[in-house]
A and B are shown apart, each in its own frame.
Chain A
Amino acid sequence: MKTFLLKSLLFFILVTSITTIILITCGGYVDYFYEKFTTPKSSSFILGDSRSMQGIQPRVIDDYFKQDTYELPMTNYSFTISQIAYGPSYAESIRRKLDLNTKNGLFIITVNPWVLSSRPGFDETKGEFFEENMPPHNMTFVDHNPNFEYLLKNFNYFHFKAIIRRSSKMHKDGWLEESNLPKDDTTLNLWKEKQISIYESFSEQWKKSQFRLDSLKELAMLLDAHGDVVFLRLPIDTKILEIENVYWEQFNKDIIEISKKSEVDYIDFSKSSGVYKTYDGNHLDKYGGVDFTKALCDSIVNKFNK
């Protein structure tokens, strides 16, 4: 029995070592979110869904604000619409990732109708949250490297095949880089059509949520104590924007109202649709993302007179 246990332990160590090596060397390739939980606590954040996860590049912001304007480096702590909407769970995870000693951070909270909506089958006012058992909300440890908690709780999110075919990379700063995008317009148009149909179905089933709006306000107030907070609406394709405008006609007005109440600024880039290049109508590609992030920095400077 001793030999058996010893050899079993040896096998366990072998397996754990292989997994650890893969996580440390290829963590950014094998999972879209894993790296976000391996970096230290941060003082500045980009928050939101996949639009900001791909569209706002922290390193551009770090380069822009080199001169001690903000406590950097910036961390992109965005996820996708499947995992997040503004609410107590996301706020709690942000609190865990935030360096609580921060006094002069920069917090870019991206907004759109979908991250402020209620989904079918879940009543937030009764404590029912679709996001409860997903990352980042199911994570207690958000700054461990390697992060075995993430591996155990979210194993189904991993796609280890990606260590061979590296089509996308989650950078340590939280920015998701899609590097192997198709070059033909036919495929990209198909992707765009798919995005449009997804949002059309959202608009039929989802409802704007006062609970999520209140949560956004609370989050802004929480982060305001640690630095400058800005609400941001990203540029998207005009067709998707049309769907959003029909779904939530007074969206900008509602956000402006909240921003006034919580004394933060609102930067609306939705009118710049077509100026910055998206690959599927919804996500800025990495080149469009650089231009956009620079323009965003310019706007922040103007807003806060930095």
Chain B
Amino acid sequence: MLFNSFEFLVFLPTVFLLYWFVFNKKLKVQNLLLLFASYTFYGWWDWRFLSLIVFSSILDYSCGLRIEKNVEKSKRRLWLILSMAVNLGFLGVFKYFNFFSNSLSEAFAKFGYQLDALTLDIILPVGISFYTFQTMSYTIDIYRDKLKATKDPIAFFAYVSFFPQLVAGPIERATNLLPQFYKKRTFSYEKAADGLRQILWGLFKKIVVADNCAIIVNQVFENYTEVNSSALVVGTIFFAFQIYGDFSGYSDIAIGTARLFGFNLMQNFAFPYFSRDIAEFWRRWHISLSTWFRDYLYIPLGGSRGGTWMKVRNTFIIFIVSGFWHGANWTFIIWGALNALYFLPLLLLKKNRQYTNGVAEGRLFVNVKEIFQIAFTFAITLLAWVFFRAETVSKAIGYIKAIFSSSLLGHPRIDLKPFIFIVILVFVEWLQREEKHGLALSNLKYTAIRWSLYAILFCIILIFGAQSQSFIYFQF
């Protein structure tokens, strides 16, 4: 079920009313309702893939108990390895099998050996990368004694499949989300009202910004050999805002929806395009994934401790794996490697944590230095986005090459209307950059202004919303 669909428009209020008015007496029953709702939400795409979530939940629930029960480290490790092997095995088969098979065949071909690639004709289950990482964090944290294994299967199953964030995150840690299933949730007006505002803002970002940009982006990337250079640059800028509007819009809707049910999910985007360097960008972009890799991969590898070589190695590993997580394609790997290259100088010069505060805090405008920093950071992310969007590495290189031609300063011969929506987005988010989301208006005292803003935003969504498109991150 898509957030931007009529089905969800009926589904959400129905579950909300049942949750607070019918099943509110007992916590277990309320969790059971969430579990049923989540399975319905997921099964709406393809009920067959529910079996994967159920299996993964049973496995990790059992492994968690076994890890906790065993005192012997080797046995604890064995259960952890089993959990991780099965989870990563699913991911490997459904997401990466064909990639490895094809790459191997191509590699053999380069040495003159013909090897027919064995490929599987399978569909990638929606959100598999998200819930797999979520369940893995559970068993790893138990293994590290950071979390007690749950003895409440309903709470655990509901945690794994919690519908607001099931298919595209934020990737929640068991330490944050699971305990919320143990406690009786109380309805908070402020929280729910702000949740609805966040949903509205998320819909604007997705339906108006991302979907309108998508139309032009698709035209430009599909015909990059035929459009002029300035159009290629505009196409890349549109893609930067398409992916931001799409993914952060989804996160806003997910977080807002969870708040309606009394849950707090982690912030996933913190206005990343206002970052002054790439390190700050990565602290603000897809926060739940970045911190996941930091905690479960980067730090166990040694992090930024150790010598220069180790820092370089770890940085490349984390960024390349992060790229590979997005998809089984060399384009994502290069996207990751490019970001590692951007990040490395900051790390080696120990400047990767120089901007931990927000830009222009306490001021309305940025200074000239900050403008250049933000523009430079945005420009280098644009270059990386070309690889992220292109179908193949050669197309990405061809695209970048085509940018540098005499028509770079010419008028881009494409529809520039999405810029209007981008300007609205940037303007609102700049004003709200110290808040949790673009429409956090609880401090705005004038009800009439608030409601006028809601009405205007709804009209913009209705009138300028592009044809409904699936969320990009569903494929990851």
Residues of A within 8 A of B (CB): 1, 3-4, 7-8, 11, 14-15, 18-19, 22, 152, 155-156, 160-161, 163-164
Contact = CB atoms under 8 A, between A and B. Distances in A.
A18 B20 contact: no
A270 B283 CA distance: 67
B462 to A, nearest CB: 5
B189 A1 contact: yes
Interface string B440-475: 000000000001001100110011110110000000
A18 B189 contact: no
Given A11-B454, A152-B6, A156-B468, A163 B189 contact: no
Contacts of A4: 187, 189, 192-193
A3 B189 contact: yes
B6 to A, nearest CB: 6
A22 B219 CA distance: 31
B214 interface: no
Nearest to A158: B462
B318 to A, nearest CB: 41
Nearest to B466: A161
A189 B374 CA distance: 48
A7 to B, nearest CB: 7
A155 B459 CA distance: 15
A1 B20 contact: yes
Contact of A18 (B187, B192, B458): B458
Contacts of A161: 463-464
Contacts of A1: 20, 187, 189
A275 B147 CA distance: 82
A24 to B, nearest CB: 15
Contacts of B20: 1
A7 B465 CA distance: 25
Nearest to B10: A152
18 contacts: A3-B189, A4-B189, A4-B192, A4-B193, A7-B193, A8-B196, A11-B454, A14-B451, A14-B455, A15-B458, A18-B459, A22-B462, A160-B462, A160-B464, A160-B465, A161-B463, A161-B464, A164-B463
Interface string B1-35: 00000100000000000001000000000000000
Contacts of A8: 196
A15 B467 CA distance: 19
A4 B16 CA distance: 12
A155 B454 contact: no
Contacts of A18: 455, 458-459, 462
Nearest to B212: A161
Nearest to B468: A156
B462 A19 contact: yes
Interface centre among A14, A22, A155, A161 (most CB of B within 10 A): A161
B10 to A, nearest CB: 9
Nearest to A17: B455
Contacts of B193: 4, 7
B6 A155 contact: yes
A1 B20 CA distance: 9
Interface in B155-201: 187, 189, 192-193, 196
B454 A163 contact: no
Given A4-B193, A8-B196, A15-B458, A156 B467 contact: yes
B465 to A, nearest CB: 7
Interface in B324-361: none
A194 B458 CA distance: 37
A9 to B, nearest CB: 10
A202 B267 CA distance: 51
A4 B189 CA distance: 6
Contacts of A164: 463
Nearest to B451: A14
A10 to B, nearest CB: 8
